[in-house]
Each structure stands twice: as C-alpha cells, then as structure tokens.
C-alpha cells in the first residue's frame, strides 16, 4: 500500500497554492526532465519529503498519529490512517520557492509508520534517551508486527537493535537522511544489525526503509512494551 499526502506551505500574502508531484512514474514510462536520473539523489529527495510530511503531521495531528502508531487493532489503525490523508498546511517546508508552494509525497506503509515514529521520538527525546540497553534475546515477537507492512524478520531485527543498542538507534534518527552523518551512524550500528539478523536472512531495501524500521521499533518499545515475563517458579 502506498500513501499520498500533499504538503502545502502557507505564506502571508499568497492567495493560491500550486503543487509539485513527486510520485513515482508508471513502470516503463519516460522519467522526463523534471525527475533526476540519479537514483541515490531521488532516494534522498524522497526521504527528505517523507521527513517533512511526518514532521507536519506530528505537529498538527499529534493525537491521531499517536493513536495510529500505538493501536493494535487493524480496523482502528486503518480508520486513523485515513484521517491523515489529504492536504496539510505546513509553515516551514524545505526546498520551497515563490513558484512552488507545495508538493505531493508518495511512499509505502512501512516508510509512513517509521517517519511518523521518528518524529514522535524527537518530540519526546528525553524518554528515549533514557532507555537502557537490554540483553539480546533468541527470538522477538510483538503484536504490532502485523500492522507494520514489513516482513516480520525485519521487524524482529529492528526490535532487537532498538533493545540492545537504543542510544545508537536514537543517534541514527538524529542524522540527515542519506547524509554522511547517517552513513557513519549506520556504520556504528553495523555490529548490532549483524548480531540481530536471523541466520539465513539478509537485509534488503534502502537506507530509508531500514531507518524507518528501527524508528518504529524504538517507538514501540515505549508505546507497546512487551508483557513482563513471569519469574520462574
């Protein structure tokens, strides 16, 4: 499932808003001059657009975002998801100008959740900065996996990383998407990612999807903590 949300930058004295579309073109179509041929640049622009959307939604619909991320009921999650559809005015948009005062961002469900989780974490930074590192478990299973839009093996790995390396995970979320600082943060997380990846699996996807998975898992560690294990008799 892919989400489409329009971001409108509001400025005093402007009476009309035009929107630049950033959706991916159909397979087999010509990209045209408007879109770059550099795939890494396109990924970076997509990540920055998703970040701006998430920041806007968290600021303007905080309670809806919180409910969406914490809900474990598929019907309620879908209802809250739909409440975030449509156009959203934002007073601080990057890469805006006098001619283009809006843009459309399109992205998969897992990126959507991860970007929202990342900005919710940034709004409550001290709580997540205080999370202790935990011992690695043999297996991980959480109810929210069914709503993430990811393969469960990715969520298990991200949960493991968020528990054994919470400070490094938080440091990653403070970097610029596709920036050199993000690359360095992923390098620091490398040993934890390797230790948490199940035997026989390999990580696929780009930086954006992996960052989103880690953000979601770190947020869920506080929002939906696992039930305490009863002491052995």
Run means of pLDDT, 10 residues per run, the chain, 233 residues: 47 30 46 58 77 88 96 96 76 48 68 94 95 94 95 94 97 94 95 83 77 97 85 62
Looking at the fold, whether 209 and 141 belong to one and the same domain comes out as: yes
The answer to whether 216 touches 114, Cβ cutoff 8 Å, is yes
The reply to whether 232 falls in a domain is no
Instruction: Provide the 10 A C-beta neighbour count for residue 134.
Output: 13
**Nearest Cα residue to 118 out of 45, 2, 209:** 209
The reply to whether 52 falls in a domain is yes
- How many structural domains are present in the chain? 2
The reply to whether 46 falls in a domain is yes
Kindly report the backbone phi and psi dihedral angles of residue 128, in degrees, each rounded to the nearest multiple of 5, phi listed first. Answer: -75, -30
The reply to whether 118 falls in a domain is no
Under DSSP, the state recorded for 205 is S
The answer to whether 126 touches 33, Cβ cutoff 8 Å, is no
Looking at the fold, whether 132 and 97 belong to one and the same domain comes out as: no
Q: How far is CA 115 from CA 31, 47, 53, 231, in A?
A: 26, 9, 8, 36
84, 111, 138: which is the final residue of a domain? Answer: 111
The reply to whether 195 falls in a domain is yes
pTM for this entry? 0.78
**Nearest Cα residue to 220 out of 88, 94, 128, 105:** 128
Q: Which domain holds residue 58?
A: 2-26+33-111
Looking at the fold, whether 7 and 107 belong to one and the same domain comes out as: yes
């Amino acid at each position: 499932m892919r989400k489409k949300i329009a971001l409108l930058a509001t400025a005093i004295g402007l009476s009309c808003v035009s929107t630049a579309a950033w959706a991916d073109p159909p397979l087999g179509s010509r990209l045209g001059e408007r879109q770059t041929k550099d795939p890494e640049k396109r990924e970076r622009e997509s990540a920055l657009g998703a970040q701006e959307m998430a920041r806007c939604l968290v600021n303007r619909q905080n309670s809806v975002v919180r409910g969406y991320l914490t809900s474990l009921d598929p019907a309620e999650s879908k209802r809250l998801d739909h409440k975030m559809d449509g156009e959203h005015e934002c007073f601080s948009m990057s890469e805006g100008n006098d001619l283009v005062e809006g843009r459309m961002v399109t992205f998969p469900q897992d990126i959507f959740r991860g970007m929202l989780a990342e900005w919710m974490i940034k709004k409550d930074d001290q709580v997540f900065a205080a999370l202790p590192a935990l011992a690695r478990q043999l297996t991980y299973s959480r109810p929210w996996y069914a709503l993430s839009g990811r393969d469960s093996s990715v969520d298990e790995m991200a949960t493991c990383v968020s528990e054994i390396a919470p400070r490094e995970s938080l440091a990653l979320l403070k970097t610029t998407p596709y920036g050199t600082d993000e690359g360095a943060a992923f390098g620091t997380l490398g040993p934890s990612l390797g230790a948490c990846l199940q035997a026989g699996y390999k990580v696929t996807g780009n930086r954006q999807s992996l960052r989103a998975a880690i953000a979601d898992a770190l947020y869920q560690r506080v929002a939906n903590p696992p039930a305490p294990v009863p002491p052995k008799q």
